[in-house]
Structure 1
Amino acid sequence: MNKNSKILGSESIWKLLIKLSLPATIGMMVQALYNLVDTIFVGRGVGTLGITGITLSFPVQMIVMAIAQMIGIGGASIISRALGEKNAQKAEKTMGNIFTLVILMSATISILGLIFINPLLSLLGTNSVSINAAKDYLSIILFGTIFFSFSMASNNIVRAEGNAKTAMYTMLISAGLNIILDPIFIFILHLGIKGAAIATVLSQATTALYLIYYFLSGKSSIKLHFKNFKLKSGIITEIMAIGSSAFVRQSAGSLLTIILNNILMVYGGVLYVAVYGLTNRLLMFVLMPLFGIAQGFQPIAGFNYGAKNYSRVKDVTKASIITTTILSSIGFFILILFPKQLLSVFTTDTNLILTASNVLKIIILFLPLIGIQIIGATMFQAIGKAFSSLILAMSRQIIFLIPLIYIMPIFFGINGVWISFPISDFLATLLTSILFYFQMKKFNTNSTLSKDINL
């Protein structure tokens, strides 16, 4: 176990949380900035139709992300706890199985996606106006699935061993290169939306190569042995069980986007799909620091849970909730005060800016509470509580939001779609708080028992 792993159980909670979260937050903010810049370039270079094309293709990227997160987060939870238990062999076997699963699943998605791209685009909600833009973008993105999946899953391994800076570098490489390549392919080479997709794939491939070098160079505390690439049923089962909550959360986002795109096409066509695309990107940019805190939090919680240091798990959970609540509140005030100014960066379409501005003010009403959801779900992932984590991952989008976006428009028209967002945020936070309360009581009980045993 190297020094990156040892500090998870010894350094002060706030100092450790900042040390692990800050690099993750910087990396994710740059990644989110790339998404914004990518949309700006497409919006300025292609127009509203280009933004719609990216938005319609996004559910497929979310499914790829869901699978990579399932494998990466599920495996990272095992690795963190194995390192806490000083079981290096289990950590190494888990890493090998993660790589094999990523290769197999990403190759399957690429092949099937390209074969069935036309019916897939129809399912995503494209019409005769938007299908060409969506197809131009998605057909290229599918070729880069393996790079994106490998990078995302590997990033979780790097964070699991406490090496937050390297995890940050991977995101900086991907996002920074993408921002450089976007204007070259879109404007200079005049490839339009295809150029945006090519830039994305090239940047992800570069990131994947950097991570391969990291693992092969011996810089990782987890040794890479090709014999560990052989799949083990017990490890796979545990990865899938723990990672299922991450998969459900991300794939639910994909399902939600598909449903929304279809509903919005019926109510308002291309304009409303573009509105959702812009507001969702701004919201995700605000949420990235919260996910950065969660990424810094997870290895600390997992390591100390494996080491049976329950009071330390409880302390880092509380610190993370306080931090994410402060950050989400700051994001809320920025979005509520400057919506038009932020949206005008993407487009000169005044109708799009005005409509998106009004929508944004509705969907962020309970944004200050969302940190509780994110840390609550991450805590259950970190300590290996697969069922609780799965329920929380399903709560906002599947249990609450999707039913609401079907019901609310019956009474409130298109505004009913947007009202569904804050209602589901409130209900999901309430459910998270209830499960969180009972888990905290267990931590208190286990901490007392541990002290009695030590005495």
Structure 2
Amino acid sequence: MQTNMTKGNPFSIIIRFMLPLMLGNIFQQLYNMADTIIVGRTVGQTALAAVGSTGTIMFLMQGFAIGLTTGFTVLTSQTFGAGDERRTRRSVANAVLLALITAATVTAIFVVFMKQILHLMNTPSDIFEDAYSYIYTIAWGLICCVFYNLGSSLLRAVGNSKIPLFTLLFSAVLNVFLDLLLILVFHMGTRGAAVATNISQAISAALCFLYISRKEKLLIPHREEWYIGRTDTAFQLHVGLPMALQFAITASGTMIQQSAINTFGSTAVASFTSASKFQNIMTQSMVSMGQTMATYSGQNYGAGRIDRIHQGVRTAALFSAALSVVEGLIVWFLTPYTLGLFFNSQTNIQELLPWATPYIGACVLCYIPLSLLFIFRNTMQGCGYGLLPMLGGAMELAARLVASLLAIHTGIYLFAAVSDPSAWVAAGVYTGLAYLYVMKDIQSKRAD
């Protein structure tokens, strides 16, 4: 089920590859959202706020690890595009060993310092214990997340976007079942939701690597290839570390934003959480297009087809911009109705709308810059450029920091609401300019 993206019509190749990714990403959001919905409807609004308040911490620790592992597989994509089977296998072995080190290190850090992080984020006292129970358990299962994303990224590197979708569909259904079992039957509360997520991701990882062992022989290193090599490690860290730091920088900004939201109380947190969950589902086409362009650009860079990278980026940008308008309209009109999914019948949804509406309204106006941000950033990463995309994360952090600090010091919620869209615009403009520089740099190096 490999796909060679160096030949054929760029539009059809990109769309065919993106659609399974989009479905998979949507289902991943759905099973993440299942924790929030089931906790909110069965345990209560306070528990929902507790789970929601930890979302940015989860993004930080998972994002850092995922950024590294995704960066590790850029080499796999490039060597596959170049037709170098031995280096492709070596890149896999090196990536697996580096991922083990990454998972152990990041898990240890967050397990030790989790309570301090929650205090720094102004987590309200009435939700603190539930929040800690949830995110502490998630931290212990980080290795499951790391290896599911590593397995999926390896498959995507050789053009296979369907198997990660199938494994994710299975684990999404399993996660909902386990949520209901652990929360309703065993009364484990927010901790039960975290255990369900960890088990589901562990099974997703196992299924991906089982498929690789049976069907993708190119991704199975020979016994003598299992070692950490200096050259491969240098390249994988050169790409992976900036990607991880970019996630960490972006997550730091969202943590500051969450800290600002937390100052307005648990009702604001619950409302913001439910609105952002729905929005995250609707914007998965943008995330998926970015992932597609990382594979597409990586293979074509490896094959020396720089002209096809240009064609693919133009195609992806036009398609994503048009789709962003449609998605923005859907989010704006459906958000008031989707809030009710997260709460029981005793909750007054009208009390939540003043917190949700300003945030969603500001976001949908900036969906086009957000969609372009993913395309430009992932294209540069697929070509092996890590530093410039990471600096885009710094732009996001600066914008979120300004808006969030204004919200905290003035007590005006609107500043917190515009934190996300201001970050998207700032980073979108920057990454567009950085992409143009990268393409010129690649062409000049090829000419030499």
Give the alignment of 1:49-448 within 5 angstroms: 49-266=46-263, 268-347=264-343, 348-350=347-349, 351-396=351-396, 398-407=397-406, 410=409, 413-440=412-439
Distance 2:114 2:415 in 1: 32
**Cα deviations across residues 394-440 of structure 1 (Å, max 9, x unaligned)?**
322x1322233224665672212223333332222222222233445
Deviation at 1:378, TM superposition (A): 0.5
Q: What CA RMSD, in Å, does the superposition of the two structures yield over aligned residues?
A: 2.4
Is there any run of 5+ residues in structure 1 with no aligned partner, and where? Answer: 451-455
Distance 1:50 1:227 in 2: 50
Tell me: CA distance 1:288–1:210, structure 2 relative to 1, closer, same or farther (3 Å): same
User: 1:380, 1:389 within 8 Å by CA — same for their partners in 2?
Assistant: yes
Distance 1:110 1:244 in 2: 17
Distance 1:39 1:199 in 2: 12
Distance 1:95 1:349 in 2: 52
Q: Partner letter of residue 339 of structure 2? A: L
Tell me: CA distance 1:235–1:70, structure 2 relative to 1, closer, same or farther (3 Å): farther
Q: Partner letter of residue 103 of structure 1? A: L
TM-score using structure 1 length: 0.90
Tell me: CA distance 1:240–1:276, structure 2 relative to 1, closer, same or farther (3 Å): farther
Judge which range, 20-29 or 291-300, deviates more. Answer: 291-300
Tell me: CA distance 1:371–1:407, structure 2 relative to 1, closer, same or farther (3 Å): same
Q: Is 1:36 the equivalent of 2:9?
A: no
| Equivalent position SS for 1:8 | coil
Distance 1:289 1:214 in 2: 25
Match of 1:24 in 2: 21
Q: Partner letter of residue 303 of structure 1? A: Q
Match of 1:13 in 2: 10
Tell me: CA distance 1:435–1:159, structure 2 relative to 1, closer, same or farther (3 Å): same
Consecutive aligned runs of 4 or more in structure 1 exceeding 4 Å deviation: 408-412, 439-447
Match of 1:453 in 2: none
Q: Partner letter of residue 427 of structure 2? A: A
| Equivalent position SS for 1:10 | coil
Deviation at 1:17, TM superposition (A): 1.0
Q: Partner letter of residue 416 of structure 1? A: F
**Cα deviations across residues 364-402 of structure 1 (Å, max 9, x unaligned)?**
321232111110001100111222222223322x13222
| Equivalent position SS for 1:4 | coil
Q: Partner letter of residue 328 of structure 2? A: F
Judge which range, 436-445 or 85-94, deviates more. Answer: 436-445
State the identity %.
21
Is there any run of 5+ residues in structure 2 with no aligned partner, and where? Answer: none
User: 2:81, 2:302 within 8 Å by CA — same for their partners in 1?
Assistant: yes
Tell me: CA distance 1:246–1:328, structure 2 relative to 1, closer, same or farther (3 Å): farther
